[in-house]
Amino acid sequence: MTVAAKNSVKTAAKTSVKTSAKTPSSKPSKTLLDDLVLANKILFHFNVVDAFGHISVRDDRDPQNRYLMSRHLPPGMVTPKDIVTFDMDSNPLTHTDVPQMSERYIHGEIYKMRPDVISVVHCHARPLIPFGTAKGAKLRPLTHMCGFLGCGVPIYEIRDAGGQTDMLVRTAPLGKALAETLSDKAVVLMRGHGATMVGKSIQETVFRAVYSMDNAVVQMQAHALSAGGEVEFLSLEESEKSMGGRNVPRSWSLWKHQMTAGS
Amino acid sequence: MTVAAKNSVKTAAKTSVKTSAKTPSSKPSKTLLDDLVLANKILFHFNVVDAFGHISVRDDRDPQNRYLMSRHLPPGMVTPKDIVTFDMDSNPLTHTDVPQMSERYIHGEIYKMRPDVISVVHCHARPLIPFGTAKGAKLRPLTHMCGFLGCGVPIYEIRDAGGQTDMLVRTAPLGKALAETLSDKAVVLMRGHGATMVGKSIQETVFRAVYSMDNAVVQMQAHALSAGGEVEFLSLEESEKSMGGRNVPRSWSLWKHQMTAGS
Amino acid sequence: MTVAAKNSVKTAAKTSVKTSAKTPSSKPSKTLLDDLVLANKILFHFNVVDAFGHISVRDDRDPQNRYLMSRHLPPGMVTPKDIVTFDMDSNPLTHTDVPQMSERYIHGEIYKMRPDVISVVHCHARPLIPFGTAKGAKLRPLTHMCGFLGCGVPIYEIRDAGGQTDMLVRTAPLGKALAETLSDKAVVLMRGHGATMVGKSIQETVFRAVYSMDNAVVQMQAHALSAGGEVEFLSLEESEKSMGGRNVPRSWSLWKHQMTAGS
Amino acid sequence: MTVAAKNSVKTAAKTSVKTSAKTPSSKPSKTLLDDLVLANKILFHFNVVDAFGHISVRDDRDPQNRYLMSRHLPPGMVTPKDIVTFDMDSNPLTHTDVPQMSERYIHGEIYKMRPDVISVVHCHARPLIPFGTAKGAKLRPLTHMCGFLGCGVPIYEIRDAGGQTDMLVRTAPLGKALAETLSDKAVVLMRGHGATMVGKSIQETVFRAVYSMDNAVVQMQAHALSAGGEVEFLSLEESEKSMGGRNVPRSWSLWKHQMTAGS
């Protein structure tokens, strides 16, 4: 983590404490709600999530103090009316009479720590599980679509933060420990559980979730094909240079097209 | 197997002998029938079963002495009118003029031995086959969705019970031997054949069938990725702690939604 | 190959020489045509064939001297009017003005040699390719659905019969060499090409094609999981005992249901 | 590269310089446009491309100096009105007010160097990635469908041509270097990126893209099954002999049928 990142993290942590618990007086923008619902559908379509997993986004009415996420529901069933407003301590400000995701602290604690993050995905994507459990294995970028993996993919060991648990990040301290393990990276793997991705928009975070999974599939094949020999990954410079550009909007336009055609 | 489990097994075995063969005078509850038919569709949808495999549930009119299961049919074709009532010796009490599953003894014998079991799935799910045939391989829980594997997954060797056979559990003694191998566990693998899962409800048993398969896929990848090195599984405590909660109803709500949308 | 098999092969080879080339005066039975068209659809649905591959059946009007197979078409596009009648030298007796499968000799030559065979599938099913090309690998039955693999799966090396070729069985001598390699078995793999399956009915041959592929997928996983260690296959006796029964009609009933629901 | 190939390359390179930048006065033939749009759909259907990748064809009005390709769009969304005319320096002559593919130089530079090439596919097909990144691995033909791989599959290392980049072939010199690595072959792999295929028609190039991917999947399995032992590939003579024939039109007829049925 760079010094600049550390400082911005500190500032964010301070400001986020001011979160008030009052009910929001207006609705989030329709575009944001629609994108969040669409993101749920896309993540389900590509098997990033099954009945479990969730995506959140900072609330555009008060991005420093609130975020939006579905109530306790499988992502494939989420509609606009299921979107809850949370404060940064992950207390629901709406929909207070229905069950909420027990792992919402993943989202709130990352937003507190990372002012640069606008959206968070938590998932159990199957191809990512081996990279969190096979000792010595490291998820690394094999193609330019996955440059965001280049700066490293830490692994969260919940035993270090909570001892023997049911594996769920169901408290603020466990969420904070996850955010600290994530640090300034794009993806954190969670041993025996899944992964969490962050990005500067819903679109970028969904893109990172889909392509993390993609990279995992191909990387397992590359290691098998090399039979334990050398595999050539992107260099750090190649990773950084390939992260920008038109990849995210182009993927999003296709996925939106596919989800709409299928409905 | 714990002492408590052994005792409850003995009691169950005794009571089940009293089963009478008279035809049931009423119909099972519509909810139970609907759930059983839906379970057949879900198992087929997720490739837990193909043309083969079956799911049963204790009959809610007389759970100690009867169970319900489809007549001899591929699970993907089962409708409510195909559901047969069996006694615990696996004699059909209805639909006596049509062919029955030759392996129904799997179900009856487990119900006799395990009073805690409400529903049983038998399947040939492909990813589970290697774990029953590769010497030394053990199916173990890689994520918190599969904590139910944590107490161990025994392997049934039909040669021990029946010598050289056609591999089918087509008699009560073979079924009893399978139930004894299963013991107090959630899943038993069957060498050269498939697997059998049990649970406290149709929903839980279907969940265990789907996620056993899931764990198998991911575990094979983890072993390959570690290239024979160490893989970190859930600890026994983590397995036990992660088994409760809202996982089963949440999955079921999605699967029901999917099956209904698809019809 | 047993002595009995050898004798029946000799007899068959002699009688088949009498085949006359006259055009058939009636149509094959509608049931047979419908089953053959359905078989094409099933093989395509399960990726046993893609644009390539074919299935034939002995003509029920003159089973010793004629067989039925599609004209040169992808199996997924075959309709009843595309079914050609061939003599056992693989000359078309109908549809003589359109292109025919260049590898029809696979079918004719097997029918000549194997009077017990009623239907033949030739395919390029992907999971079977490695078993024909990886030195030392042997396709063997892992479950009771695949007992038909128990008596052995020979590999056809076209170089032995034809030297350096385009790999296609496009002459009678190449077809005869394949039939000789198949001998009295159910499946023959073809190095650098695919596989050919035979059976006592369209239904059985399709079943063997689908489950050969299935066994290949699972067997590759079992070898990987055992990391080169021992894998337990069905014994020869288990293979033989598990081959009969209700497996084939049950699968066929499901597949027919699926193909009809999808049309 | 043969002497003949080298000479034709030189001639092509010279003539292509004469390309004029004037706007074309007529439309490309409807057949060519329809085939190009269909090719986009097929490549998307078979996961050769996702949101990324493209296919071009020489413009039948002026094949030496122009080619046709979609504007910047995911292939699955391309319609006839999105097809742009480019000169051989990859300048758009139509649709000049919309974004173009940044990697169009792949196409133009190959057309300059290879007068025999009529169509080019660039893709990120996942199963091909390991063969470009696992040191020592070589993509080689396992079946007669993939004879076109027999003459060798070079790997393009963009660092040799451009140092540390964003991995994209976004300039003419990088495209020229790729064309030189491709040389007179059918397929070139691109380290950390994907692959590029060429052929004598849209149909042949799409066929090569689909079956390259197919061969990669099966070859990885064959190496795993042989556990590092020997795998038998097609000989060079077998590769050459198996490349002609009716494979391409037969596949195309099926794919066209599938794409039309799905619309």
Residues in chain C: 263
Chain C: partners with 3+ C-beta pairs within 8 Å: B, D
Instruction: Give CA–CA dist B168/D255, Å, rounded.
Output: 42
**What is the per-residue pLDDT across B173-216, written as a single tens digit (0 to 9) for each?**
999 999 999 999 999 999 999 999 999 999 999 999 999 999 99
Other beta carbons within 10 angstroms of residue B116's beta carbon come to 12
Contact B134 C229 (CB under 8 A): yes
Residue type at position A161 = A
The answer to whether residue D14 scores a pLDDT higher than 60 is no
Please indicate if any CB of chain A lies within 8 Å of the CB of B255.
yes
Say what the pLDDT of residue D213 is: 98
Contact D142 C127 (CB under 8 A): no
Please indicate if any CB of chain A lies within 8 Å of the CB of D95.
no
Compute the average pLDDT of residues B229-238. 95
Model confidence at D1, in pLDDT bands (50, 70, 90)? Answer: very low
**What is the per-residue pLDDT across B60-114, written as a single tens digit (0 to 9) for each?**
999 999 999 999 999 999 999 999 999 999 999 999 999 999 999 999 999 999 9
pLDDT above 70 as % of chain A: 90
Q: Of A133-137, C237-241, D152-156, which range is least confident? A: A133-137
Say what the pLDDT of residue D236 is: 96
CA-to-CA separations, A138 to A151, A154, A223, in angstroms, rounded: 12, 9, 11
Contact partners, residue B160, CB within 8 Å, separation at least 6: B177
Q: What residue in D sits closest to A236 (Cα-Cα)?
A: D164
Model confidence at C23, in pLDDT bands (50, 70, 90)? Answer: low
Give the one of D141, D226, D254 whose C-beta lies nearest to C77's C-beta: D254
**Among residues C207, C205, C232, C238, which one has the least CA distance to residue C218?**
C232
Instruction: Give CA–CA dist D85/D107, Å, rounded.
Output: 12
* C-beta separation of B22 from B87 below 8 A: no
Say what the pLDDT of residue D246 is: 85
Contact A126 B233 (CB under 8 A): no
Cα of D171 to nearest chain A Cα, Å:
15
Q: pTM for this one?
A: 0.92
Question: Mutating which of B40, B45, B129, B220 best tests the C interface, going by the most C Cβ atoms within 10 A?
Answer: B129
Instruction: Give CA–CA dist D145/D197, Å, rounded.
Output: 15
**What is the per-residue pLDDT across A17-64, written as a single tens digit (0 to 9) for each?**
344 445 566 889 999 999 999 999 999 999 999 999 999 999 999 999
Q: What residue in A sits closest to B142 (Cα-Cα)?
A: A192
H/E stretch holding D97: none
Please indicate if any CB of chain C lies within 8 Å of the CB of B256.
no
* Residue A180 CB-density burial (10 A; 0-12 exposed, 13-18 middle, 19+ buried): middle
Question: Bridge-partner residues for C123, per DSSP?
Answer: C195
Which residues from B are below 8 Å from C206, CB to CB? none
Q: What pairing do the DSSP bridges indicate for beta strands C187-190 and C155-156? A: parallel
Q: What residue in B sits closest to C227 (Cα-Cα)?
A: B228
Q: What pairing do the DSSP bridges indicate for beta strands A155-156 and A187-190? A: parallel
* Residue A25 CB-density burial (10 A; 0-12 exposed, 13-18 middle, 19+ buried): exposed
Task: Name the residue with tokens 């098998």.
Answer: A224
Pairwise pLDDT comparison (C246 vs D53), residue with the higher score: D53
Which residues from B are below 8 Å from A133, CB to CB? 142, 222, 231-233
Which residues from D are below 8 Å from A143, CB to CB? 124, 129, 167, 192-194
The answer to whether residue D13 scores a pLDDT higher than 90 is no
Chain B: partners with 3+ C-beta pairs within 8 Å: A, C
Chain D: partners with 3+ C-beta pairs within 8 Å: A, C
The answer to whether residue C35 scores a pLDDT higher than 50 is yes
Model confidence at C228, in pLDDT bands (50, 70, 90)? Answer: confident
Task: Name the residue with tokens 């078993």.
Answer: C131
Instruction: Give CA–CA dist D183/B5, Å, rounded.
Output: 72
Q: What is the dihedral of CA D39, D40, D43, D47, to 10 degrees?
A: -160
The DSSP 8-state label assigned to residue A24 in this structure reads: P
Contact C254 B164 (CB under 8 A): no
Catalytically active residues of D, by annotation: 103
Please indicate if any CB of chain C lies within 8 Å of the CB of B162.
no
Contact C77 D253 (CB under 8 A): yes
> Which chain A residues in 168-207 lie under 8 Å from chain D, judged by CB atoms?
none
Which residues from A are below 8 Å from B218, CB to CB? 126, 129-130
Say what the pLDDT of residue D27 is: 86
The answer to whether residue A203 scores a pLDDT higher than 90 is yes
3-state secondary structure of A122: strand
Phi/psi at D154 (5° precision): -70, 160
Phi/psi at B85 (5° precision): -95, 130
Compute the half-sphere exposure of residue B201: CA atoms within 13 Å on the CB side of its CA: 9
Model confidence at C17, in pLDDT bands (50, 70, 90)? Answer: very low
CA-to-CA separations, A258 to A251, A254, A263, D79, D252, in angstroms, rounded: 11, 6, 9, 15, 24
* C-beta separation of A118 from A201 below 8 A: yes
Contact C233 B192 (CB under 8 A): yes
Per annotation, catalytic residue among B103, B180, B237, B238: B103
Contact B253 A77 (CB under 8 A): yes
Other beta carbons within 10 angstroms of residue D47's beta carbon come to 13
Cα of B242 to nearest chain C Cα, Å:
26
